[in-house]
Amino acid sequence: MKVITLGPAGTYSHRAARAVVDGGEDPDEAISFTESVTDIVARVADGTADRGVVPIENSIEGSVTESLDALTNTDVAVVLEIVTPIRHALLAQSESFSRVASHAQALAQCRGYLEANHPEATQEAVASTARGVEVAREDPTVAAIAHPDTADGTLRVLAEEIQDRTSNATRFLVVAPAEERQRGGGKTSLVVYPKTNHPGLLLELLEPFADRDINLSRIESRPSGERLGDYVFHVDVAAGLYEDRTAEAVAEVEAIVGEGWVRTLGSYDTRHVLY
Ligand X SMILES: O=C(O)C(=O)C[C@]1(C(=O)O)C=C[C@@H](O)C=C1
Which of residues 87 and 183 has its CB atom nearest to ligand X in the complex? 87
Q: Residue 43 belongs to what H/E stretch?
A: helix 37-45
Q: Which is nearer to ligand X, 55 or 185 (CB)?
A: 55
CA angle 29, 30, 35 (to 5 degrees): 100
- Of 130 and 191, nearer to ligand X (C-beta) is 130
Minimum distance of ligand X from residue 218's CB (angstroms): 16
Tell me the closest approach of the beta carbon of residue 154 to ligand X, in angstroms: 18
Alpha-carbon span 128 to 132, nearest angstrom? 7
Residues that bind ligand X (CB under 6 A): 6, 11-13, 55, 58, 64, 86, 103, 105-106, 128-130, 170
How many angstroms separate the CA atoms of 264 and 78, rounded?
Answer: 9
Output the smallest distance, CB 211 to ligand X, in A.
35
How far is 11 from 202, CA to CA, in rounded Å?
A: 37
Q: 3-state DSSP call for residue 133?
A: helix
Closest distance between ligand X and the C-beta of residue 260, in Å?
29
For the bound state, the minimum distance from the C-beta of residue 195 to ligand X, rounded and expressed in Å, comes to: 30
Cβ proximity to ligand X, 93 vs 129, nearer residue:
129
Q: Which is closer to ligand X, CB of 73 or CB of 202? A: 73
Least distance in angstroms from the C-beta of 269 to ligand X: 20
DSSP letter for each residue of 52-106:
EEEEEEETTTEE-HHHHHHHHHS-EEEEEEEEEE---EEEESSS---EEEE-HHH
| CA 72 – CA 56 distance, rounded (Å) | 13
Judged by beta carbon, residue 105 or residue 182, the one nearer ligand X is 105
Backbone angles phi, psi at 73, to 5 degrees: -95, -10
